[in-house]
Structure 1
Amino acid sequence: MTSVFDAATAVTPRGEHRYTAELSDGWLIGGGLNGGYLLATVARAVREALPGKPDPLAISAHYLSASRPGAAEVDVRVLRDGGTVATAAADLRQGDVGRISALATYGDLSRLSTGADDLHATAAPPDLPAPEDCVSNAVSVPVGLEAASLLERFDMRFHPDDIGWASGRPNGSGLMRAWFRLEDDRDPDPLSLLLVLDALPPVTFTFGAMGWAPTIELTAHVRAVPAPGWLRVTHASRTMAGGLFEEDCEVFDSTGRLVAQSRQLARMPRPV
């Protein structure tokens, strides 16, 4: 059975490196579709254009305008296709309106690894209570986002210390930690990690700044094929100024390995 995520990010080839997609209304948040969902859709089209290199290693996307549910096209331009990695540019548009412009490098993560001894890391997963002892997104939806269909697409369990904003008691930490898995228990893979990197609420919520925070630019690095099971996710920000904030994300798989990381620049929240 096709998972909800795979069906929603499906693309259909329409000629040389041109693809169509039907953007689903199941991924709405604030004033448009979620940026991680859109990035995963673009990334699927790029993967189709680069046979033998299935995994996004690095992808940087600029969000030109808010995407809406409905028909879309993705044009991919292969810039270089080498022995182990390839680089391509991709543009998603709806009608004559550009939505996303991205540059991506792809490869095969299973082939790039040099073995178990190639891991040297100080990155550590967030210290989270067991999922059953964390706070579900089903009971922590802030006022104004009740109609966000995105929140039904996954099971997210927040650290109890990071969820005060949901009851009007933000802690001012600039930090949000949570467990994550897709709604139908689909196991994570490199493509779905792009969604996860933009799935948590904006860290501005921890300062009481609620609402939709449109992404301006997001750069993602996928570091490894994730193991099955729950993911642990951290979002953090150090500076919110001038109407903008940065948000750094790290995703760890069920073995505790860092499998994806990102930084995005976004606008401070707008009312929804």
Structure 2
Amino acid sequence: MLVSEYDDVIRLEPTDHPDRRQGAFTESWMIGNAVNGGVVMAAGLTALRQHLSTDPQEVAEHIDPVVLSAYFMTASAPGPFTATTELMRAGRRLTTGQVSVWQDVDGEPTERMRAIASFGNLDGADTYRQSTPPDLPPPDECVSAQQAPPDFLRHNHFLDRVDIRLDPATAGWAVGKPSMRGLIQGWLRLRDPREPDTTMLALALDAFPPVAFDLGLYGWTPTLEFTGHIRRRPAPGWLRIAINTENVGGGLMEEDARIWDSAGSLVAQSRQLCGVRPA
């Protein structure tokens, strides 16, 4: 049986404390000098879901993350981490809890991320109105992240785990010709056969290159705060993603992301506040 590298990186082991679980990040999920923030959020959501599922107050069918608000205090590094969790409220439709991800730095516990998330049940979620997915060329006609220069790929192992195909109309920044529209869109799936689920959508919402690249701003854009909404359980297959920004100033930028599944249903959306630090 094939074990997905994604499942392996978010795997958690129990400890003697019911509100603590341990895991380990690896270099395989790094972007530049840090572990991808989407991986950190997915691991945190996994820890919180495990906690809520064992709490006697938990409503058993609340298995899907519905809303997540996360703050990133410091960049996560490869190595062991501890996730501490807390039940905040158990309700009939939603159950809410808090999770923090910690790593040891020079003998001191250092908080990497803190999040509040609500879980519900998205089985058979209906749709009254949704935004229209972008019209994209098929994945085979899009620009693969694997076409990036070898030196870039050597420092971004995350791209060996996630298959990203960008719409050529929004990939000009990669050859020094950004469209200046503040838009990047394309396709995403894991490189192994593992299909997306509601927790994996948190990773997908933070997987694309920073939309600042399409404005000619090629520096570091660290996430300060992230709010994500999971709307439906995704169908198997490619995810269609569009990210854009309309406001950049004061060293800050918002980045809005939307994801549609292979059936054309909107399954997730997010807004994150990023720092803008031009190269």
Match of 2:164 in 1: 156
Change (3 A) 1:125 1:172: same
Aligned partner letter, 1:137 = A
Q: TM-score by structure 2 length?
A: 0.91
Task: Flag structure 1 segments of 5+ consecutive residues without an equivalent.
Answer: none
Runs of 4+ in 1 over 3 A off after TM superposition: 140-146
The alignment's C-alpha RMSD in Å is 1.5
* Matching of residue 100 in structure 1 with residue 113 in structure 2: yes
1:110 paired with 2:123, answer yes
What do the CA deviations read for 1:132-162 (whole angstroms, capped 9, x no partner)? 1111111135975641111111111110111
Partners of 1:7 and 1:13 lie apart in 2 by 15
Distance in 1, Cα, partners of 2:149 & 2:225: 25
- Which of 249, 255, 261 is equivalent to 1:253? 261
State the match for 1:41 in structure 2. 43
What is the aligned partner in structure 2 of residue 57 from structure 1? 66
Task: Give distance in 2, aligned partners of 1:50 and 1:72.
Answer: 20
Q: Could you tell me the percent identity over the aligned residues? A: 39
**One-letter amino acid matched to 2:244:** A
Offset at residue 269 of structure 1 (A)? 4.0
- Is the contact made by 2:130 and 2:266 (CA closer than 8 Å) also made in structure 1? no
**Equivalent residue for 1:183, pick from 181, 191, 208:** 191
Offset, 1:170: 1.1
Whether contact under 8 Å (2:51, 2:85) holds in the other structure is yes
1:239 paired residue number: 247
Q: How many residue pairs are counted as aligned between the two chains? A: 266
- In structure 2, how many angstroms separate the alpha carbons of the residues matched to 1:237 and 1:230? 23
Cα distance change of structure 1 residues 119 and 141 upon mapping to structure 2, 3 Å threshold = farther
State the alpha-carbon separation in 2 of the partners of residues 124 and 50 from structure 1.
34
C-alpha contact (below 8 Å) 2:146/2:153 kept by paired residues: no
* 2:5 alignment partner in structure 1: 4
**2:136 matched to which residue of 1?**
128
Alpha-carbon distance in structure 2 between the residues aligned to 1:266 and 1:30: 16
Letter in 2 for 1:229: G
Q: Is the 8 A contact 2:34 2:76 kept in 1?
A: yes
Q: In the TM superposition, what is the alpha-carbon distance from 1:212 to its structure 2 partner?
A: 2.9
TM-score by length of 1: 0.94
Q: Secondary structure at the match of 2:199?
A: helix
- Is the 8 Å Cα contact of residues 145 and 211 (structure 1) preserved in structure 2? no
Three-state SS of the structure 2 residue aligned to 1:151 is: helix
